[in-house]
Structure 1
Amino acid sequence: MGFVSRDRIRSALVVIAVTGLLGGLVLHFSDWPAPAGMVWTAGVLPILAALVAEIIRDLRRGEVGLDIVAALSMSAAVAVGEGLAAAVVAVMYAGGTFLESFAEGRARREMHDLLSRVPRTATRNRGGRLEDVPLDVIAPGDKLLVRQGDVLPVDGTVASSFAFLDTSALTGESLPVRVAMGSEAMSGSTNAGDAFALIATRLAKESTYAGIVRLVEEAQQSKAPMSRLADRWSLGFLAVTIALALTAWWFTQDPIRAVAVLVIATPCPLILAVPVALVAGLSRAAHYGVLIKGAEPLEAMARIRTLILDKTGTLTDGRPQIVAIDSHIGMPDDEILRLAAALDQASKHPVAQAIVTAAKARGLALSVPSEAVEIPGEGVRGSVDGHKVIVGGDDFVVGHVRRKSGDHPALASGSVLVALAVDGRLAAHLVMADPLREGAGSMIGELRHLGISRILLATGDRVEVAERVTEGLGLDGLRAGLSPDQKVLLVLTERKNGPVMMVGDGVNDAPALAAADVGVAMGARGAAASAEAADVVLLVDSIDRLGAGIDIAHRARRIALESVVAGIALSILGMLVAALGYLTPVQGAVLQEAIDVAVILNALRALNIRPGATKTPEKQITGASCDGTIREMPPD
């Protein structure tokens, strides 16, 4: 049964239960008791039928839930002619189950665009004519045209002189890579440069991207089940309820007393308080830009002990930025950046656009370049304010000017060097890299304060890049050069230490997100595949929202537990009073309603949760093994 149809059925059951209760009350106060009883019964039976069907499905799966108590109380009340009590229980139960599924259904509808990044068609060159064809008709050997910004539809080899590909969604490499003619290009990469020709080497269903999609599906099927908070209390409460009801019946021979016990024992503090608190927690999390797809992931977030983080786009920003400017002729940094950015306005290359963005961020006025000529994949030359300017790769720029000793800065691993020449002289180098997100270190400390004892980095990027980026973060381990299936294996291996949360943003992270107890996707700029596979989506491009989401989950779960404990204590007290004959079934139902109101009001406190950022001292990282395996970090 689909989520939409299930929500519609539960909505209809709520309407039936409320209509039956109100209709019977109208007839009852109109001195038509017999028709009133019939209306109450008519309103209860559909709820009871749906409840019995749900119980049977649970028992077939080997699960025992609190639904049994609700079914016993409704059926027993109907059997002894206590229609009003049965109707009240039916309304409480139908309302509680609808409320529990409301947030999950809404979140899934908002995330219905499954794997929307997957290309549906490709442009094939056949006999010198271009035609758009479905992916399933592409065969190995077909020549395809991949335009700028297109996602590669199949695996293939580059048939043009070169191609610039953004592989960050697949490998975690944040900077575009240059792929030479004859080299392999993976499906799911994005063309970051000019259009190029691609010779297909695999069918679409056998390509890299399709394999990742299959991994997502397999990981979702193998995901460990998460039980509802309410169900973990079910067996004990069910045993107490039946024991008290049978005891009251045995000693008094009055079935009405047993019914009164069952009615007041209807586990509405569990059925209602838990979803109310958790739905309120979902609402508060969404307020802070954290979309949690249902109550179960919210519960699981509060129990996470191991966190696995992707690098590119998660710990780092995922976009190249200028980290240093090295001038060789005494030119001010702002002037270097202004000249380079002015000329780079003529290029669509991601690095060129990053330089333009950096100049605009400093408020620099950029002149319009003239005579600009771009050599694809190499650089741009032209005139800016009467100066002859060349900007691009170091080899390209140096090929037009003379290099002097000492004018080549040391390049850190994972960085890109952009050279600038002005009027025939090598003027400067701009060092670009994908730096750590601001606040990442404090976030690690906050997560440890929230109970996460083990934090690892898992990335498809090179190990030396990962080591440099994470230096000083205080991680417990690092694993680099991972493929999507290796990330899944890491998640499954770490389960021995407790529930695992995986955070990522790329297509290559989607299988691991699906396999984790809680998968978290960076949804602001991440791939649709990771957002669909994840249980939680950070709607704001800020990793610090993760701590807020976990904090909200902890507090919402604690409020739910407080409501449950108080509600069950009051219910057991009421059951004892009913067993002694001081409460009728209808009075028990009314008392149970009062208990419901109390626990719901307490559960609604979750709407006022304000996550706090508590910072704790961070441990120092010592590095990771160069072979890509996890290297444990010693405690301080």
Structure 2
Amino acid sequence: MKPVSNDWRATAILVIAALGLVAGSVLWMLGRPDTAAIVWATGVGPVLAALLVEIVRSLLKGDVGLDIVAALSMSAALLVGEMLAASVVALMYASGTFLERFAEGRARREMSALLTRVPRTATRHTGTALEDVPLDDIAPGDLLLIRQGDVAPVDGTLTSASAVLDQSALTGEAMPVRVSTGQEVMSGVTNAGAAFDLRATRAAADSTFAGIVRLVEAAQASKAPMARMADRWSLMFLAVTVTLATAAWWFTGDPIRAVAVLVIATPCPLILAVPVALVAGLSRAAHFGVLIKGAAPLEALAHITTLILDKTGTLTDGRPQIVSIVPQGVLSQDEVLYFTAALDQGSQHPIAQAIVAAAKARGVTLPVPQAVVESPGEGVAGTVDGRSVVVGGADFVAAQVGSAGPDGAMAKAGSVVVALGVDGKPAGHLIMADALRTGTADLLAGLRRLGVARILLATGDRRAVAEAVTQGLKLDDVHADLTPDGKVALVLAERKTGRVMMVGDGVNDAPALAAADIGVAMGARGAAASAEAADVVLLVDHLDRLLPGIDVAQKASAIALQSVAVGIGLSVVGMVVAALGYLTPVQGAFAQEAIDIAVILNALRALRITPTQVEGPDAGSLPDVRPVQS
């Protein structure tokens, strides 16, 4: 059964079928059988017409499905005057159509959020004035002002002395990047520092960000539709049905027997039980923080063999964190954090704000700094509790205090050293990094127990950073320095050997999420583009939600398959009984209804699925990052 093109049509068909059956039954009980037959037939007409349209569309695409059995049973019942049987079948079909459309929901929303990440206007220098202009009016050579927090609307080169950029959404690099005059700035990056001027080198339509949008759309268009469970059973069941109905008519000469076979053969265990089980699975998965966008993705999620993970914001928290505090001189660790965080309150740099947040999370009461002077991208100086304090890069602090500070090379790949000087002397330093989430190794082991055979890392970050972060993890391969189209190529290569799930959170992950069999987005803090392109969204910022998500999908699919096997088996028995003349079409319709009730009750067991990996919606949650090391 193929779904109708719009949700309102499925609802309208269901209402018509239900009203026809109920109104006809009331008339029949009032002693007006002829009028009842007309009402039943009238209710069947629109349902059968919509069904025939879907059959024609399917045949034009080369698909032969279960719709044909339902159309044959309704048509045959009408031809031989079994209007009540036809009306019952019509209601069953309409119910299945409605349920399937409900299960699908908004399985694939438009990429409008991806486009709206870049502002619709930009601030352009015009002589000595500034003006807001539409993106389409920006031409190469225009000089633009990018304020703090703004997203670069087009590709360009930096004309200011320096800029601090958050490129995590595009490249996966979690730590802010400092660029200098003349260096390239990609569209889609966020200004994490002071305002700067950008000389446009491309029009908006030709920018890096627009290219990613086109890449996502191309990946979605080329992605083959997932085969539904009902489709995989359709041809076999259709052949059995037509054979039994033909044989009953051929050997007895009684067309009523053939109609009875067709009516009881209406594949409602497939039309109803599968959507019910899968919708119940969708509801149960959402209970554990996993939003699955439809029944087809849930089916595919149950059979994933390869997992590809992004790094920043997925395996890691995606934000700078304090990895270690190293005192120098007389200060303690707590004092190093105290002075650093107190002065950093006067800076809007992402690393400074991360240090302030970490101190407040530990309950540290921070005084208001005085006489704060910031050197953008370098560091900040001021007074804390009457003492002269300077915080920033190792070279910046060393120049301020007049002696050597910490060696910047001592930080591992992907880490940043933040130095502290107090009263003209080196006082210590903090090492900041986008740390691996605690419990990741256990998470990967749990995924392998659920049948995931290959686990890969795919990141736009540098290889040295990727290898440092994943050291000790049992990954099958690490792919670094990947562009968005490089991630798509990796997904397509892995799909040749099995079903692939891609997990990511950035704009640069969106094309790969769209290309994978199942795309999973980290929805709590991830980019809207990745959530739009994905089939599954993790509603909480914990990668471990994959475990109950996959477990629920596997168990819901198993329940659906069980319901189908039992329901089809009972239908075949009923078809044989009808072929032997022991069931009339109306009796066959109600016998099929009894079978439907049984398989639907079994399918509803999916609402009570308890994943073996977790015991409740909050169980098994991973802490954000590794604890601070001294």
- Is this contact kept in 1: 2:344–2:355, CA < 8 A? yes
Aligned to 1:579: 579
AA of the residue aligned to 2:172:
G
Could you tell me how far 1:163 is from its partner in structure 2? 0.9
Aligned to 1:419: 419
AA of the residue aligned to 1:320:
P
Aligned to 2:289: 289
Aligned to 1:343: 343
**What RMSD in Å do the two structures reach over aligned CA positions?**
1.7
AA of the residue aligned to 2:168:
S
- Is this contact kept in 2: 1:421–1:428, CA < 8 A? yes
Which structure 2 segments of 5+ residues have no match? 616-630
AA of the residue aligned to 1:252:
T
Q: Residues 358-377 of structure 1 correspond to what in structure 2 (within 5 A)?
A: 358-377=358-377
Aligned to 1:488: 488
Residues 599-627 of structure 1: CA distance to partner in whole angstroms, max 9, x if unpaired?
00110111111222289xxxxxxxxxxxx
Q: Residues 599-610 of structure 1 correspond to what in structure 2 (within 5 A)?
A: 599-610=599-610
Q: Residues 166-565 of structure 1 correspond to what in structure 2 (within 5 A)?
A: 166-403=166-403, 410-565=410-565
- Is this contact kept in 2: 1:328–1:407, CA < 8 A? no
Aligned to 2:69: 69
TM (norm. structure 1) is: 0.94
- Is this contact kept in 2: 1:446–1:614, CA < 8 A? no
SS of 1:381's equivalent?
Answer: strand
SS of 2:179's equivalent?
Answer: strand
CA distance in 1, matches of 2:4, 2:417: 53
Aligned to 1:131: 131
SS of 2:275's equivalent?
Answer: helix
Which structure 1 segments of 5+ residues have no match? 616-636
- Is this contact kept in 1: 2:118–2:152, CA < 8 A? no
Could you tell me how far 1:103 is from its partner in structure 2? 3.1
- Is this contact kept in 1: 2:522–2:537, CA < 8 A? yes
CA distance in 2, matches of 1:114, 1:323: 33
Could you tell me how far 1:400 is from its partner in structure 2? 1.1
Could you tell me how far 1:328 is from its partner in structure 2? 1.1
Name the % identity: 69
Aligned to 1:104: 104
CA distance in 1, matches of 2:112, 2:446: 32
Pick closer, same or farther for the CA change 1:347–1:137 going to 2, 3 Å. Answer: same
SS of 2:346's equivalent?
Answer: coil
- Is this contact kept in 2: 1:327–1:428, CA < 8 A? yes
- Which range moved further: 185-194 or 408-417? 408-417
Aligned to 2:20: 20
SS of 1:164's equivalent?
Answer: strand
Aligned to 2:146: 146
CA distance in 2, matches of 1:542, 1:190: 24
Could you tell me how far 1:173 is from its partner in structure 2? 0.3
Q: Residues 43-62 of structure 1 correspond to what in structure 2 (within 5 A)?
A: 43-62=43-62
SS of 1:497's equivalent?
Answer: coil
SS of 2:26's equivalent?
Answer: helix
- Which range moved further: 279-288 or 4-13? 4-13
AA of the residue aligned to 2:537:
V
CA distance in 1, matches of 2:48, 2:4: 21
CA distance in 2, matches of 1:405, 1:385: 23
AA of the residue aligned to 1:50:
A
Could you tell me how far 1:126 is from its partner in structure 2? 1.1
AA of the residue aligned to 1:105:
G
Pick closer, same or farther for the CA change 1:267–1:503 going to 2, 3 Å. Answer: same
Residues 61-84 of structure 1: CA distance to partner in whole angstroms, max 9, x if unpaired?
111111111111111111111111
Could you tell me how far 1:104 is from its partner in structure 2? 2.1
Could you tell me how far 1:214 is from its partner in structure 2? 0.4
- Is this contact kept in 2: 1:326–1:409, CA < 8 A? no
CA distance in 2, matches of 1:609, 1:331: 55
CA distance in 2, matches of 1:109, 1:309: 23
- Which range moved further: 478-487 or 539-548? 539-548
Pick closer, same or farther for the CA change 1:5–1:69 going to 2, 3 Å. Answer: closer
Query: 1:117 aligned to 2:97?
Result: no
AA of the residue aligned to 2:376:
P
CA distance in 1, matches of 2:118, 2:277: 37
Pick closer, same or farther for the CA change 1:407–1:155 going to 2, 3 Å. Answer: closer
Residues 30-68 of structure 1: CA distance to partner in whole angstroms, max 9, x if unpaired?
111111111111101111111111111111111111111
Aligned to 1:626: none
Aligned to 2:94: 94
Pick closer, same or farther for the CA change 1:153–1:541 going to 2, 3 Å. Answer: same
CA distance in 2, matches of 1:94, 1:14: 5
Pick closer, same or farther for the CA change 1:107–1:75 going to 2, 3 Å. Answer: same
- Is this contact kept in 2: 1:115–1:532, CA < 8 A? no
CA distance in 2, matches of 1:111, 1:248: 53
AA of the residue aligned to 2:85:
A
Residues 178-204 of structure 1: CA distance to partner in whole angstroms, max 9, x if unpaired?
010111000010111111111100010
TM (norm. structure 2) is: 0.95
Residues 510-564 of structure 1: CA distance to partner in whole angstroms, max 9, x if unpaired?
1111111111111111111111111111111111111211111101100000100
CA distance in 2, matches of 1:154, 1:410: 36
- Is this contact kept in 2: 1:260–1:588, CA < 8 A? yes
